[in-house]
Amino acid sequence: MRERILTVLIGVGFGFALSRIGFASWDEVHGMFTFSDLRLLFTFMFAVALIVPSWFVFERLGMAAWVKRSIHPGTVAGGVLFGMGWAISGACPSIGLVQLGEGQLGAIWTLVGIFAGNALYAWIHPRVFGWSTGSCLDD
Relative orientation angle of helices 75-89 and 26-33, to the nearest 10 degrees = 130
pLDDT at residue number 137? 55
The alpha carbon of 84 is separated from its chain's Cα centroid by a whole number of angstroms, namely 13
The pTM of this model reads 0.70
pLDDT at residue number 55? 87
Q: What angle do CA 52, 39, 7 make, to 5 degrees?
A: 55
How many independent structural domains does the chain possess?
A: 1
Query: Residue 63 domain-assigned?
Result: no
Is pLDDT of 123 > 70? yes
Query: Residue 15 domain-assigned?
Result: yes
Reported as a single tens digit per residue, the pLDDT across 17-38 is: 989 988 888 888 888 888 999 9
Domain extent at residue 94: 2-37+69-131
Residue 113 CB contacts under 8 Å (≥ 6 apart), including other chains: 85, 89
